[in-house]
Structures are given as C-alpha cells and as structure tokens.
Structure 1
Amino acid sequence: MSFDRKIKIAPSILSADFANFGAECEAIEDQGADWVHVDVMDGHFVPNITFGPAMCAAIRPHIQGVMDVHLMISPVDPYIDAFAQAGADVITAHVEAGPHIHRTLQAIRAAGAKAGVALNPGTPANVIEPLLDMVDLVCVMTVNPGFGGQKFLDMTDKIRTLREMIGDRPVHIEIDGGVDPSTAPLVARAGADVLVAGSAVFKGGSVTNPQVYGDNIRTIREAAEGVYA
C-alpha cells in the first residue's frame, strides 16, 4: 500500500446489498473503486450495529485492493488483532472512543495494519496534533457517525487545519459522511484525498447492473479532481 495524494474513492459497503457482500466488493472494484470501506459499529459508541471481524474475513478474498476498516466501537483495543487477522489494511479508531489513543495506534501498527484516527464533527483538529507521527490516516467525520445517508456537515475549515498540520508527512486525509458530487470538490479543495461514499456510489446500481456504480464513482472522482484543473 504505497502513499500518494491522488484522489481515492472508497465506497462504504454500509450502503451495499447485505446479502451479497462478496459480489458487491468485486463489483465496485471492477468499476473503479480504489479502497473498500467497512464501517464497524457496536451499538454502544454509535447508535447502530453492523459488522465484525468474521464478516471482514469473509469478504477479504473478494477485495483485491485496500480494505479500510473504520472502527466506531468502544473499547477498541481488544478487537484490533482480530480485525488485522481478518485482513484489514487500514484500521481507524476514534480519538473519542477511549482514554489511551496512543496505545491504540501503537497496537494497530504492531498488528501489521496502517493506523488511522477519526474525529467526530464536534472534535477540533488540534486534539490529534500530538498523534500525527503515529498515524497513516486522519478520518474527518462529516456526519455524526452511526447511520448512512446523512446530510453533509461542512468541516472544510477543520480539513484545511489538518492539511497544514500534516505538512509533508505521508498521512492521508479521509472524509466520511455525505460525500457526493456536490460535496467532493469542497473537501478535495481543502486537502482531503480519500473520499468515503456510500449511498452516492451504490444508488441505482446492483451486482447485476454494476456500471451504475462505475458512473457514480467517476462522477465523484471527476468532481473532486476538477478542483486541480
């Protein structure tokens, strides 16, 4: 998993067909997805329950590229090894999810995965300044986590602050929540390079009609890349 700042589209399988995850992962990658984003929720840290390590292990053979696992759970540390063993390339934990985020990030890297840290909309960017040499990715939530399909919250000032703080470190800025062709340019212009999109990718398509996924991915990518034209 090499580092670059090119725009990457990471469809969230939270919006996929739950009965068809393997085929959905293959379909979105065939149609141009760069990463596959897996939203793990525990019904405690966030008001929803989704997937666990067994599901990640089940879909891993269907994913050729990066499996990006976003842990919206608390506590995090007891589950890191299981998600790493399930094949997660990136494991992201919330700074708000526990008292010892340094230990969590160290454990993620020790397990062999890239380490991400996520910030809820109400959490300021400067909270993670001491962590920037310990992470490979910063995830900026542009909705309050828990459900797909929510309205985008404008976090462009936070993204710009993070981009300046990161400097030349090889750290991705990922955006999760409400990304579509209208919001992608806002976050890309502010400095984001990994765009998580759920309903905006999967709407209108299916594993039997996957070209719609490709059209949606291209539209989001072109909107984001247009800020550099």
Structure 2
Amino acid sequence: MTATSPIRIAPSILSADFAALGEAVRAIDAAGADYIHVDVMDGHFVPNITIGPNVVKALRPHSKKIFDVHLMIAPADPYLESFAAAGADIITIHPEASPHFHRSLQTIRGLGKRAGLALNPATPVDVLDHVMDLVDLILVMTVNPGFGGQAYIPLADKIRSVRQKIATSGRDIDLEVDGGINPETAREVIAAGANVLVAGTAVFSGGAEKYAANIAALRG
C-alpha cells in the first residue's frame, strides 16, 4: 500500500443514531463508504461503553462492506473469536490490551481476519518493529480513545514514521487514522501517508442526505 493508493473512508457508527444503527449502516454504505468502522469500548480500557459482538452480528446483514472493528477493550484476547464469528473483517487491538500482543495478532489472522494494531497518541511507533509481518492495518489515533467528537491532535510526523515502516516492510499494509478527522485534517493526514480515514461527526453531520457529500469531501 502506498501513499498514492485510493483514499478509503471508514465512517464510525459511534456518531450514528444508536436507535437506528441498521438504517445508518445501510445509508453510509449507499453513500459511498468503503469500510464500516465499529468502535467497541468497555468502560475499562477507555472511559466509555458501546457495543459488543451481538450488535456486530445484528448489523452484518445490513452491508457487504468491510467491517472494520476497533477493540478498545482489555483484555482483548477472550473476545477475538466472538467478534470474528459476528462478522468482523478487520479486528484492531491495542498493544496495551494484551500481554502477548504477537500471539494476539496471530490469533486474529488464524481466525481468517485481517489484523490491526492501534497506536494511541503516546504509544511509540517502535512497538511495530517485531510484528510488521503480522499486521494488515496500522491505526494511528489522533485523539485519546474513548469518545467521539474530540479535537484532532496533530501527529503528522508519527504518521509519516509509520508510513516509512510500511514502505520498508514491503508489505501491503493499510495506514488508518482516527480522531478529529474532517476535510481540513484529512488533507494533513493524507499528505503524511494515510490511506484510510475514520470519521464520525464529519460523516454523520447534516442527516442522511448529506452523507455522500460528506464522504466525498473527506477524499479531497
């Protein structure tokens, strides 16, 4: 994956109407979303609680797009199989959420899913050094995880460092960025090397009739 790869947009359903999640997934699918980003929070690893594998399973019939499931839970390992069975295509976990992170990535890939590694703003990039052969997606968080609608933390240098590691690896690895993404910050992270953008508020603002335009604006 290169920095010139087509930009993919992964709307975060954290910003959708939770009373109508199935409808929201269908709407962003029709509006041109590439991935459906699902934020899973446990009130322990992050200070918020969202959804579990049963909700992912319930949403799965509403779209054939890639379900990009970000686990902000600890421990993560006991739930990997459940989220895989529920229909996740990508399962992303944090190194801080597993005492044996290398094994966790092996488990995800052994379940037939793409394995993602998430870097919090203060997580050093060198945590990637011994797992680049196991990751299919690297998620750089440009907010501290736990809530939608937070202000973007400028981490373009970190994104560029991750892009360089991907280039050195020679592997086809997505570089995803999540946190405070809007049309302005999208340009910055794309220039730094991101090719997948997670956006909640920027996609879901204005109602369903605006989703397609909102998604197009993020692509630049």
* Counterpart position of 1:181: 183
* Counterpart position of 2:216: 218
* Counterpart position of 2:116: 116
* Counterpart position of 2:199: 197
* Counterpart position of 1:134: 134
Structure 1 stretches of 5 or more lacking a match?
A: 223-229
Q: How does 1:1-229 map to 2 (within 5 A)?
A: 5-167=5-167, 168-205=170-207, 210-222=208-220
**Cα distance between partner residues in 2 of 1:18 and 1:28:** 14
Alpha-carbon deviation of 1:32?
A: 0.7
Amino acid paired to 2:162 = L
Alpha-carbon deviation of 1:6?
A: 1.4
Amino acid paired to 1:214 = A
Deviations 1:8-58 (A, max 9, x none): 000000000101111100100101111000000000000000010000000
RMSD of equivalent CA atoms: 0.9
Alpha-carbon deviation of 1:78?
A: 0.4
TM-score, structure 2 as length reference:
0.96
Q: Is the 8 A contact 1:96 1:119 kept in 2?
A: no
Deviations 1:40-82 (A, max 9, x none): 0000000000010000000000011100000000001100000
Alpha-carbon deviation of 1:211?
A: 2.3
Q: Is the 8 A contact 1:5 1:172 kept in 2?
A: no
TM-score, structure 1 as length reference:
0.92
Structure 2 stretches of 5 or more lacking a match?
A: none
Deviations 1:57-116 (A, max 9, x none): 000000111000000000011000000000000000001212211011011011111000
**Cα distance between partner residues in 2 of 1:18 and 1:188:** 30
* Counterpart position of 1:227: none
**Cα distance between partner residues in 1 of 2:43 and 2:111:** 25
